[in-house]
Amino acid sequence: MYLSKLFIPLLKEIPSEAKIKSHQLMLRTGMIKQSSTGIYSWLPLGFKIMKKIEQIVREEQNKIGAQELLMPTIQSAEIWKESGRYDDYGEEMLRIKDRQGKEMLYGPTNEELITEIFRASVKSYKSLPQLLYHIQWKFRDELRPRFGVMRCKEFFMKDAYSFDVNDEEAKKSYNKMFFAYLNTFKRLGLTAIPMAADTGPIGGDLSHEFIILAETGESKIYSDKRIFDIDISKHSSEEKSIQDLRKKYDEFYAVTDDKYKKEDFEKKVKKENQLVTKGIEVGHIFYFGDKYSKPLKCSVDLKDGKKVNVKMGSYGVGVSRLVAAIIEAKFNNNIMRWPESVSPFDVAIIPSLKKNDKSNQEKAEKICSFLLKNKIDVLLDDTDEHLSAKFKKFDLIGIPYQIILGSKSSDDKFEFKEVNGKTESLSLEDIKNKLLNNRS
Amino acid sequence: MYLSKLFIPLLKEIPSEAKIKSHQLMLRTGMIKQSSTGIYSWLPLGFKIMKKIEQIVREEQNKIGAQELLMPTIQSAEIWKESGRYDDYGEEMLRIKDRQGKEMLYGPTNEELITEIFRASVKSYKSLPQLLYHIQWKFRDELRPRFGVMRCKEFFMKDAYSFDVNDEEAKKSYNKMFFAYLNTFKRLGLTAIPMAADTGPIGGDLSHEFIILAETGESKIYSDKRIFDIDISKHSSEEKSIQDLRKKYDEFYAVTDDKYKKEDFEKKVKKENQLVTKGIEVGHIFYFGDKYSKPLKCSVDLKDGKKVNVKMGSYGVGVSRLVAAIIEAKFNNNIMRWPESVSPFDVAIIPSLKKNDKSNQEKAEKICSFLLKNKIDVLLDDTDEHLSAKFKKFDLIGIPYQIILGSKSSDDKFEFKEVNGKTESLSLEDIKNKLLNNRS
């Protein structure tokens, strides 16, 4: 792809309204554009990254047997009155009257609607367990939206729901999601720690927030720092292995602000292991039993003919927020480096182009078509800017690998640079193999 | 995938509220569930089909160089006041007041918002032409929603926008989209005919509706039936070839109700070629020059320093509506057959299962894992229903190929049936090759 053809409106200055680095970077590299307070359009660069994150989230949900569906954004107020949350939810819920005066709302979450779908379809314990999820836009009418897509009004979120016949089975579903979340964040290049958390307006008695460390985070966290060393790759998706993994996490103290108790922290965590810092919430999972199935009368028949309310949990990942969270984690010293798994392109070709000498232009195009043929996604900077200006630009765009064609580039070896890493002189074949290996 | 594990709530009866066959089939096979009047949830089977359609639409947009972005569903009323459409649009626009009393709306289309994005980013003729598109949920507050997802309130739509420096260039963009649309519908197994159409609330002076024939269609159409014989596969994406293709279509009379004039029809179309019938609109393209760029002050600098308002067109495909449109076209004599390109599964395995004989179950599982290894997506009916009941069910689910394991199935040859086609006795290797060939 030629940079000059792409719709990437780069900004020269740091926009003054942006207070944190992810918001600044997203505006400067034309990833997003605000359309009204707290509501953003995703321009091609940002959109491409968000879509890659979405796909990783989806694949990890599918791996644990969750099935994808899609609920609408606009819901009737009726089921929210059935559950009792219509009044509870407050002004953050965007309330709407349609042309016939019917009370509607823009879904901020979907416990009610999924329960209503489930109760209409499933009647027997034989159909359980079930894991259902969707990835859909949500709306929360924040009084003070801030930090770009980190705390905005319209946001893209994966929410999953589990349905089980009893508490014991439900905990297994909860653990499966716990496992899927750890794998998801790992594939996104993030170390996310599950921390015991309050359940808030979702309700229930068991809940974990998945937190990544970042100084700009809104959550204050208190943990035993050894929790960061747990190696999830040693665990498989088998029930026993997942259970063991949960136990490992439970061994270490790690809580958010709401759950923090000074005396517990001091007692359970040695001084040298205490970590008090800030973090960003990227996922939140809840187990709440029959909190929704009871008022909404969602039950199944058991083997012995008795009816039981299904036991439910819900599981959220903020897909659009993750774009910003990854930037907060990976944008340091004014250099961005996207993880390979979500980078908008696999590699950038950065040639020094002169009007009276077409040799670099031709080389760049040859390299480009060779890589494209090998299914490597390339961005070629075909503008006539100076190399130094191009480098500054690519420090922000954040593609993790660069092929640089300077004034004295040779014909068979090329300057291949890993962002924040070393620069080598490599043949095109070696570059190709390196890029393909990095991907897997 | 095991049918017993899938969340596909099949209905035994034809729901009385469904008047047309697509709505009936979608409810009976658990593809959708109404959540409130004119608003639907997409359950796994329907969702999977819609996603495949979305992906084909996307690929054909990318092929002509259109770039994907994503605008939000909720917009500020301000830009709609700038264009003058806030009052024009009437009650079909879902109007919303946020918690601070600000006037917002759920976008029914996006000419204003994309123009606003464009004017903020592009200043020079050098950046033109540009084609931008997104695939996003829209809302129209229909007074009488009907026919399921065919005429509903919340719907999924691809809308693209072209930006050019003058009329001549703009017509080239229009023709590119014209070409992309024909290819899109062909890949979906549909014969869609571009017909001269009124421009309605979008405005402009050039417009085509893409119509597929269906008795349940809401559009009355008048055409020269020879227009259905035009072979688009003879045309490439080169400018000249696309132009020739447009000329071919222009040679034949084909209009919708609004544009119909009896005397034209009689004069231009011989009696034996006249076709008067009904159809379903699956796409609509518009050229409207500076209708939006002028009031919204979206201009670029020309080479000579003068400013000119960009010339724009817009291009819509109803992605969710296409699911129903394909059913209207392909569901006949109570048998559905999804085109291979959008079928929820490549093949169904339908075994006769008996409690005291596990041989068919084992065979079915062997076949299933062999096909999955070859990346063929399989649905295995592991329920204990009679074969005849299973056949009836699969007549509705519409997977185009079936492997049937009856009471006397052999060990190395299997009954392989193409829906609405012949049944053969084939080895597993032959079945695999057949399915893989069909896909390409």
Q: Which of B7, B8, B320 to mutate to test the interface with A (most CBs of A within 10 A)?
A: B7
Q: B86, B296 in Cβ contact below 8 A? A: no
| B54 at A interface, C-beta within 8 A | no
How far apart are alpha carbons B401 and B436 in whole angstroms? 12
Q: B71, A92 in Cβ contact below 8 A? A: no
pLDDT in tens, A323-366: 999 999 999 999 999 999 999 999 999 999 988 889 999 999 99
The pLDDT score that the predictor gives to residue B219 is: 86
Average pLDDT for residues B74-103, to the nearest whole number? Answer: 95
In angstroms, the first-to-last Cα distance of chain A is: 23
Q: Is A343 exposed, middle or buried (0-12, 13-18, 19+ CB in 10 A)?
A: buried
Peptide bond connecting B201 to the previous residue in cis, omega within 30 degrees of 0: no
CB contact under 8 A, B41 and A70: yes
CB < 8 Å from A in window 120-159 of B: 120-122, 130, 132, 137, 139, 141, 143, 153-154
Lowest mean pLDDT among A191-205, B32-46, B97-111, B379-393: A191-205
Closest-CA distance, A255 to chain B, in angstroms, reads: 33
| Interface pTM, i.e. ipTM | 0.96
pLDDT in tens, A217-226: 888 999 999 9
Residue A431, both tokens: 């570059």
CB contact under 8 A, B41 and A69: yes
How far apart are alpha carbons B208 and B182 in whole angstroms? 12
Helix (H) or strand (E) holding A278: strand A274-289
The pLDDT score that the predictor gives to residue A88 is: 87
Using CB atoms, pick whichever of A7, A67, A120 lies closest to residue B44.
A67
pLDDT in tens, A86-104: 998 899 999 999 999 999 9
The letter for the amino acid at B79 is I
Angle CA(B309)–CA(B315)–CA(B316) in degrees, nearest 5? Answer: 145
Question: What does pLDDT average to over chain A?
Answer: 94
Task: Determine what percent of chain B is predicted with pLDDT higher than 70.
Answer: 100
List chain B residues with CB under 8 Å of A30: 121
CB < 8 Å from A in window 5-44 of B: 5-7, 9, 30, 33, 35-36, 39-44
Q: Searching chain B, which residue's CA lies closest to the CA of residue A92?
A: B99
List chain B residues with CB under 8 Å of A48: 68
Q: Which of A99, A127, A131, A134 to mutate to test the interface with B (most CBs of B within 10 A)?
A: A99
pLDDT in tens, A223-265: 999 999 999 999 999 999 999 999 999 999 999 888 899 999 9
Domains contained in chain B, CATH given? 21-336 (3.30.930.10), 347-439 (3.40.50.800)
Closest-CA distance, B260 to chain A, in angstroms, reads: 33
List chain B residues with CB under 8 Å of A35: 71-72, 75-76, 113, 116-117
Binned at pLDDT 50, 70 and 90, residue B300 comes out as very high
List chain A residues with CB under 8 Å of B9: 120-122
Average pLDDT for residues B334-359, to the nearest whole number? Answer: 95
Q: Is B274 exposed, middle or buried (0-12, 13-18, 19+ CB in 10 A)?
A: middle
What is the signed CA dihedral for A142, A146, A148, A149, rounded to 10 degrees? Answer: -40
- Taking CA atoms, B227 is separated from B65, B130, B207, B247, B248, in Å, by 28, 31, 17, 12, 8
CB contact under 8 A, B96 and A96: yes
Whole-structure pTM value? 0.97
Using CB atoms, pick whichever of A9, A69, A104 lies closest to residue B44.
A69
Question: What does pLDDT average to over chain B?
Answer: 94
Average pLDDT for residues A383-406, to the nearest whole number? Answer: 96
List chain B residues with CB under 8 Å of A74: 36, 39, 94, 106, 139, 153-154
Average pLDDT for residues B211-236, to the nearest whole number? Answer: 92
Binned at pLDDT 50, 70 and 90, residue B440 comes out as low
How far apart are alpha carbons A94 and A92 in whole angstroms? 6
CB contact under 8 A, A39 and B153: no
The letter for the amino acid at A390 is K
How far apart are alpha carbons B156 and B136 in whole angstroms? 6
pLDDT in tens, A141-181: 999 999 999 999 999 999 999 999 999 999 999 999 999 99
List chain A residues with CB under 8 Å of B116: 35
| B106 at A interface, C-beta within 8 A | yes
Using CB atoms, pick whichever of B30, B69, B73 lies closest to residue A154.
B73
pLDDT in tens, B254-278: 998 888 999 999 999 999 999 999 9
Rounded (10°) angle between helices B239-251 and B167-187:
80
Q: Tell me how long chain A is.
A: 440
